[in-house]
Amino acid sequence: MRIIVADNYEAMSKIAADNIQEVITEKNDAILGLATGSTPIGTYEELIKRYEEGKIDFSKIRTINLDEYIGLHPNHNQSYRYFMNEKLFNHININKENTYVPNGSAENIDEEAKNYDKIIENLGGIDIQILGIGNNGHIAFNEPDKALNVGTHVTSLAQNTIEANSRFFESLDDVPKKAVTMGIGQILKAKKILLLANGKNKAEAIKGILSGKITTDNPATMLQLHSDVTLIIDKEISDEIINCN
Ligand code: PGA
């Protein structure tokens, strides 16, 4: 595992964009696995800037997102499809038909989940997967549990995830309680994985990834099974980890 300590959020975002740009430079029709949440917003801003400067061409790029809330229409302003359009796709020369986010308002959501794995397979696999991490170690919506799923599936959000995500909704009650998410096995199939984390509330979860132990209580610890993971953390996290040891 490669661990990079960035001075701050801006530096973390630039390093993440460098890693993504490198993949696109090598393969102009790369499959990017994308994430939502606050963490990758700076990375997307950096990618938009590089597109505007003529450094990155997204015309042949395909993207596949990790997850989506169940019950939110793609046009809902808190859906992850809406987030991706607003934060990235509307500002670059990507063909939206080549961007995939699960449809959380699909009539048959189990079928939607099954089809999603087929889409990934048909695309030929993910070249680089961007990940954030929850305070509880979740990646995508794979929450701590007795067992973790391999493929894309329907899941319930952990209470602390509902609370953390309520900052984007008017009230706790408005936060969807279920989601469709790629499974851990699907994430581990990506050729490269880039996990970004900033802020000391993520330190405990990150410690797990560096522990040499795997536990379903911290789903991100599974990343230790992958041979090409880059962890980009900020100084706040590294200081917190060092101070605790
Ligand atoms: P955040 O969420 O980027 O908004 O902190 C990360 C996550 O829950 O995976």
Taking the C-alpha atoms of residue 225 and residue 52, their distance in angstroms, rounded to an integer, is: 37
Which residue in 143, 234, 236, 240 is the catalytic one? 143
Quickly tell me which residue has 């661990």 as its tokens.
3
pLDDT at 243: 81
Q: Is any atom of ligand 1 closer than 6 Å to the C-beta of 39?
A: yes
Report CA torsion sign: 84, 86, 92, 97. positive
State yes or no: is 107 an active-site residue: no
CB-based burial, 207-237: b 16+ in 10 Å, e otherwise: bbbeeeebebebbbbbbeebeebbbbbbebb
Residue 187 phi, psi (nearest 5): -65, -40
For CA atoms 155, 174, 220, 185, give the dihedral sign.
positive
Spell out the alpha helix ranges (H) of the chain: 9-26, 41-52, 80-87, 109-123, 159-165, 184-188, 203-209, 235-244
Residue 89, both tokens: 């796709």
Kindly name the residue from 19, 136, 142, 198 that is annotated as catalytic: 136
Nearest CA to 16 out of 78, 88, 117, 82 is that of 88
Q: What per-residue confidence (pLDDT) applies to 84?
A: 98
Handedness of CA 107, 61, 14, 85 (dihedral sign): negative
Q: Could you confirm whether 67 is annotated as catalytic?
A: yes
Say if CB 5 and CB 234 are below 8 A apart: yes
pLDDT at 86: 98
Q: What is the spatial distance between Cα 18 and Cα 134, in angstroms, rounded to a whole number?
A: 23
19 is catalytic: no
For the question of residue 174 being annotated catalytic, the response is no
**Does the pTM exceed 0.85?**
yes
Token couple for 59 = 């015309």
Cβ(38) – ligand 1 distance below 6 Å: yes
Compute, in angstroms, the gap from residue 95 CA to the centroid of ligand 1.
Answer: 26
Residue of 12, 13, 38, 39 to test ligand 1 pocket, by largest number of atoms within 8 Å of CB:
39
Residue whose token pair is 């509880």: 136
The strand order across the sheet containing 2-6 reads: 2-6, 229-234, 192-197, 128-131, 31-34, 62-65, 99-100
Q: Which residue numbers in the chain have pLDDT < 70?
A: 244-245
Please give the angle made by the CA atoms of 164, 169 and 171, to the nearest 5 degrees: 90
pLDDT of residue 245: 60
